[in-house]
Structure 1
Amino acid sequence: MAGNSYILRFKEDASDDEVSKTKKELTDSGAEITHEYSLIKAVSVNLPETEVGTFEAHEHVAGIEKDQEVKALDK
């Protein structure tokens, strides 16, 4: 599912229980959670494109963006 990797950020006020339920909804929809971040409420997920809109509108999700490589600029 390369190319369908996203960072999904949970709302700051989402409880641990709400985050857990949303993660279960993700896996039930065919997504694979590949990394859980500890400093921010977010997961890296391989998500079917057909499900992106569903989770963008989810009540406990702050946003979804394509996961991409980030490089520092050399001077």
Structure 2
Amino acid sequence: MTFKSFIITFKDSVPEADASKIKNSISSLGGTIVHDYSLIKGFAVKLPESLKIDKLKDLHGDAFETIEEDKEVKAL
């Protein structure tokens, strides 16, 4: 199975209880929380490619501030 990595941040208005429910739903959909950030309200996740990120947006999109594919960054 092939996975894609994303960094997801929540809107400031999202209560911690709702954020926890969303993280649990990601796990139930076959995703894995890779890192839970403490400086920002967000986390890194690996999702199976078969689970399109659009499905996650459809389920919880109003809670997310940003969803970005996690990619390698290089300094010039």
TM-score tier after normalising by the smaller chain length: 0.7 to 0.9
- Structure with more strand by fraction: 2
Q: Computing the radius of gyration over CA atoms, which structure comes out larger, 1 or 2? A: 1
Q: Which string of whole-angstrom CA distances, capped at 9 and with x for unpartnered residues, describes residues 8-31 of structure 1?
A: 111111111011011001101100
1:65 is displaced (CA, Å) by 1.2
Identity %: 40
* Aligned residues between the structures: 73
1:40 is displaced (CA, Å) by 0.6
What stretches of structure 1 move > 4 A for 4+ residues in a row?
none
Q: Give TM-score scaled by structure 2 length.
A: 0.81
Which structure 2 segments of 5+ residues have no match?
Answer: none
Q: Give the alignment's Cα RMSD to 1 decimal.
A: 1.7
8 Å Cα contact 2:10/2:64 also seen in 1: yes
Q: Give TM-score scaled by structure 1 length.
A: 0.82
User: 61, 70, 74: which is aligned to 2:64?
Assistant: 61
